[in-house]
Structure 1
Amino acid sequence: MSTTESQAPELPSTVRAVVDGLAGLPQVRSVRIAGSRARGKPTSPDSDWDILAYTEEALPTLGELHRLLPSGTEQAHPYPLHTANPGHPFQESEFTLPVSPRIDVCLRPFAHLQQEQQRAALGTFTVHSYPKTAGGVPSYILLSEAALSAPVHGDVGKPVCPDALVAAAGPWWRGRASCALLLAIDHVAAGELLGALEHILAAATSVAHSRLISGGSWYPITKRLLDETGAIEDGVREHLAGLSASRLTAATVRQVADGLGVDVDEGLDWLQRGEHMGPIRGDQGPVRVISHQNER
């Protein structure tokens, strides 16, 4: 089974400079554009740019990454190099360039991609809890982004969806959806409607994953999973939306956040500090900054 590789979009000069700089590093095997920009569906003109840099065993140094800052932004303060804890779905390091639109450089060891290809060929995968998604992400997300990203420099091949993974993952996601709906019924019986909605959302997301992989299609890694993939019929989507609110807006979400005592805007700081990469060990201080020498 195959998938369609994205075509590289036109790159602004700042992005082109970073891409070419990465391609010139001896550790970098391939550079690709990922995310909504690769799909040609940015959520806004100011959407950030996600750059994948597939590396050999040694990662670029922090100094080499600092030198990627485009001309005129040398005095800007880039975010630190954040490295994922063991077990993180991406097993990656991230480095953010503080330009506008923001540029996120995601360092992907090529060996990890190869390992996941071997696992997928055997029908093996893992589902990770991940703060950026409601229902978690499958480990074959590494293959999804490689297949659906747009190549600019070098080549890592275009992963295809193996029959063994289709046979294993499709039924598993379907079973997870059934289980989630059973739990939703239990929550309704207990009068815990918010818990029921949580499980209904997990079921809808699981069905989307099941239908995608059952058709040999990779998970497109999008905030619009139920909309863009067509994995959930429009009528079902409208019904699900009606379960939570008839007129759900950002203001409504903020009202809920206020009721919970949560500052929504602190979420961006939380991401920029690298907290989404995993919990911080107590001996590492408030921000986990790990250099390439001791991260693996």
Structure 2
Amino acid sequence: MTTTVRAPELPTAVRDVVDGLAALPGVRSVRIAGSRARGRPTGPDSDWDVLVYADGVPPRAQLRRLAGAGPGDPFDVETANGGHPFEETEFSVPASPRIDVCLRPLAHLTQERARAARGAFALYAYPKTAGGVPSYLLLAEAALSAPVAGDVEAPGCPGVLVDAAVPWWRGRASCALLLALDHLRAGERVGALEHVLAAAASVAHARLIGRGDWYPITKRFLDEAAALPPPARERLAGLSPAGLTEAEVRGLAGDLGVEVEDGLDWLARGEHLGPGGAGGG
């Protein structure tokens, strides 16, 4: 199943970058991602996010020519997370609005597709989110972007993945609230609040993947429709370390629809290692 996201009209500067990327060796697909692909740019000056899938990183000299940059330039080509599923080679083109380019190895997308088809995933640290991201967001990223040159298969969300992910996230939320209570009893209110917020993010992941649709990680992640029950959002907005109590934590558990004590079973099953206790397969 291929993506059905429709590409927006591209300004000349963006089209030139897209055409240049598509002509590079090993590039299989060039896509528009982010708020522009979703049709909800934050404003007329919102950056253009260009996502590229390639068999390997094209020669840096060729990428630098597209960026108009040289070594040491603030817009120079950089590779992060080497060998990691979220490996990315990035650079920016100083047009107006700016054009941000992210190249991903196609092999990682293929591997994640196979893992999701087994109902498996892993949670990874990622600098753009405080609580980490599930590996299946690589698939969501592809499915929610619009091809403008070439294409790669962007699969639908497998039912087996939904069945595995929802209880895992809810168990993680229960465990986080259990740890919040432990921190409160130890007098560590800031640490308790950290776990409370982790619980909220986990429930948001469970509710969003539970729809059976892909969803993006954005700056508005917790503001996505139905990501959290309204009572939970209201309670979270009023929380502070100084005012956090066991009653508030248990009240939030009720708002989120999770049982705190279920966190013990989640830990006992080794689910903190990943669904099935195997680190995501």
TM range, smaller chain: 0.7 to 0.9
The answer on whether the counterparts of 1:5 and 1:158 sit within 8 Å (CA) in structure 2 is: no
Q: How many residue pairs end up in the alignment?
A: 241
Question: Which sits farther off after the overlay, 201-210 or 90-99?
Answer: 90-99
Q: What pairs with 1:238-249 in structure 2 (closer than 5 Å)?
A: 238-244=234-240
- RMSD across aligned C-alpha pairs, in angstroms? 2.5
The alignment's TM-score, normalised by the length of structure 1, stands at 0.74
Correspondence for 1:26: 25
**Residue aligning to 1:155:** 151
Cα distance change, pair 208–4 in 1 and its aligned pair in 2 (3 A): farther
Matched-pair contact (CA < 8 Å) for 1:52–1:108: yes
Does the Cα contact within 8 Å between 2:54 and 2:103 map onto a contact in 1? yes
- Alignment of 1:40 with 2:39, yes or no, is yes
Distance in 1 (CA, whole Å) between partners of 2:106 and 2:84 is 16
5 Å-filtered alignment, 1:39-58, equals 39-56=38-55, 58=56
CA offsets per residue over residues 170-225 of structure 1, 9 Å max, x none? 11111111111111122222232222221111111111111122221223121111
The SS at the match of 1:125 is coil
| Amino acid aligned to 1:16 | R
Alpha-carbon distance in structure 1 between the residues aligned to 2:225 and 2:61: 40
Counterpart pick for 2:78 among 78, 82, 85: 82
Question: 1:101-180, aligned counterparts within 5 Å?
Answer: 101-180=97-176
Q: Which amino acid aligns with 2:20?
A: G
* Preserved CA contact (<8 Å) 2:81 2:87: yes
Identity among equivalent pairs (%): 67
Tell me which residue corresponds to 1:183: 179
SS of residue paired to 2:140: helix
- SS of corresponding position for 1:137: strand
Structure 1 position 47, deviation (Å): 2.5
Please give the alpha-carbon distance, in whole angstroms, between the structure 2 residues aligned to 1:208 and 1:128: 17
The change in CA–CA distance for 1:200 and 1:80 in structure 2 (over 3 A counts) is same
Match of 1:62 among 43, 60, 63: 60
What one-letter code is carried by the residue in structure 2 that aligns with 1:214?
G
Task: Mark the CA change 1:197 to 1:89 in structure 2 (over 3 Å): closer, same or farther.
Answer: farther
Give 3-state SS (helix, strand or coil) of 2:235's partner: helix
Measured against aligned partners, the alpha-carbon deviations of 1:268-289 in whole angstroms (never above 9, x if no partner) come to: xxxxxxxxxxxxxxxxxxxxxx
Contact 1:3 1:218 in 2 (8 A): no
Output aligned runs, 1:266-277, within 5 Å. none
Structure 1 residue matching 2:238: 3-state secondary structure: helix
Q: Calculate the TM-score normalised by the size of structure 2.
A: 0.78
Q: Is the 8 A contact 1:88 1:128 kept in 2?
A: no
Q: Deviations over 1:129-152 (max 9, x none)?
A: 112101100111110100111111
Q: Which amino acid aligns with 1:38?
A: A
Q: Deviations over 1:214-261 (max 9, x none)?
A: 22122312111121242212332122111149xxxxxxxxxxxxxxxx
Aligned partners of 2:167 and 2:206 also within 8 Å: yes
CA contact 2:86–2:138 (8 Å) conserved in 1: yes
Alignment of 1:227-238 (within 5 A): 227-238=223-234
Aligned-residue offset at 1:22: 0.9
User: Is contact 2:67–2:76 with CA below 8 Å preserved after alignment?
Assistant: no
CA distance, structure 2, for counterparts of residue 114 and residue 229 of structure 1: 29
Deviation, structure 1 residue 86: 4.4
**Cα offset for 1:77?**
3.8
Report the more deviating stretch, 2-11 or 232-241: 2-11
